[in-house]
Amino acid sequence: TQGKVITCKAAVAWEAGKPVSIEEITVDPPQAGEVRIKVLYNALCHTDLFTLSGDDPEGDFPVILGHEGGGVVESVGEGVTDVKVGDHVVPLYTAECRECKFCKSGKTNLCSAVRATQGKGVMPDGTKRFKCKGKELLHFMGCSTFSQYTVVSKYSVVAITDKAPLDKACLLGCGLTTGYGAATKTANVQEGDNTAIFGLGAVGLAVVQGCKVRKAKQIIAIDTNDRKEEWARSMGATDFINPTKLPEGKTIVDVLVEKTDGGCDHTFDCTGNVNVMRQALEACHKGWGVSTIIGVAAAGKEIQTRPFQLVTGRKWQGSAFGGVKGRTELPGLVDDYLAGKLTVDDYVTHRTSLDEISKGFDYMHGGDCIRCVVDM
């Protein structure tokens, strides 16, 4: 198939707010600096739902969604040397070129090499590789893993050991790395810290794992769904609070400030709800508490607090892909997974097939699903 157009199946999002539909599409060969991947597995992340809903300001249609995938390199364009045909790979929605101002800054994992074109749903040269019924389809987050074959920039893919099962390692393509990295890299939680995590989906549970590995003293898990308590404790949470069941007249901030003798050293939002983000900030300890936003809020939503909260020493920050440099650091996380330091397998609570991917979306609305892996 090298150099040939491939015909395969994909879940196509024709328009916002409508279910994806399984279509036969064509995938062009990789151009210079590009890699064509046979996608074997893809986990469903809430960000896919977010964009499908129409709430994503960068969301445009028709598009092939999906960004938490795992597969094998089918062919490479000229100038690609870091991956080769047959390699097991994970696509990266946060690229790493190692040449741009961001990659060289030593201050962020963000990379500018392909982000502008990625946000427009096209390849770095401004064109697309997907067609369906004669119509071109947009790319998504530089990955588009809802297709049996996809094409990505060489900066947006990393090879991993073939000892890691791809139907689990694909979770490191987003949710697991995002949460674990947010705690251990972006926030850099220290031993003895008091921490609170709002929202115990795959991301929040991975934050809990990161706080645990850093030997935080209190790891307070907060979720409106009681069924998440068991999940949170299994990942290392010391406490669980359902903010819809508080003592009369108490807010979640009151409860957390009392529980932590003045407030948390670190809090995390993993819900995408801007009101929760405010609570997470205001539950931080005066003088030094840091709140890290991971959740993705809908277009137009904004965060609010009194400036006094910051003047008196609280800090508000965010985290993308856990602050992790994918090409440099993801293989290390795979090693941690294989060494049993990072729990991944337990997160896969549901499976489905590409033909029945919409069942996967239904599982995610159900509240019992942590991650559903699609066999492509």
Q: Which residues are known catalytic residues?
A: 45-47, 67-68, 97, 100, 103, 111, 115, 174, 371
Does 45 contact Zn ion by CB under 5 A?
Answer: yes
Distance CA 361, CA 15 (A): 16
Per CB under 5 A, the segment of 132-140, 166-174, 269-277, 338-346 that binds Zn ion is 166-174
Site string for ligand NAD, 293-312 (x = CB under 6 A): -xxx----------------
Q: Does 280 bind ligand NAD (CB under 6 A)?
A: no
- Of 92, 75, 40, 94, the residue nearest 83 (C-alpha): 75
In the bound complex, what is the minimum distance in angstroms from residue 227's beta carbon to ligand NAD?
A: 9
Taking each helix axis from N to C terminus, what angle separates 357-366 and 46-53, rounded to the nearest 10 degrees? 100
Residue 5 token pair: 């157009």
271 touches ligand NAD (CB under 6 A): yes
Q: Note whether 198 binds ligand NAD by CB under 6 A.
A: yes
Query: In the complex, which residue's CB is closest to ligand NAD?
Result: 201
Distances (CA, A) of 261 to 27, 66, 254, 265, 277: 57, 42, 11, 11, 21
Could you say whether residue 351 binds ligand AHE (CB under 6 A)? no
Considering CB distances under 5 to 8 angstroms, the limit depending on partner class, which of Zn ion, ligand NAD, ligand AHE, none binds residue 115? ligand AHE
Query: 153: closest CA among 123, 115, 131?
Result: 123
Contact string 38-57 vs ligand NAD (x = CB under 6 A): -------xxx--x-------
Half-sphere exposure of 229 (CA within 13 A, CB side): 9
Decide if residue 296 touches ligand AHE (CB under 6 A).
yes
Does 47 engage in binding with Zn ion (CB under 5 A)? yes
Chain residues in the site for ligand AHE (CB under 6 A): 45, 47, 56-58, 94, 110, 115, 174, 296, 320-321
Chain residues in the site for Zn ion (CB under 5 A): 45, 47, 174
Chain residues in the site for ligand NAD (CB under 6 A): 45-47, 50, 174-175, 178, 198-204, 222-225, 228, 243, 270-273, 276, 294-296, 319-321
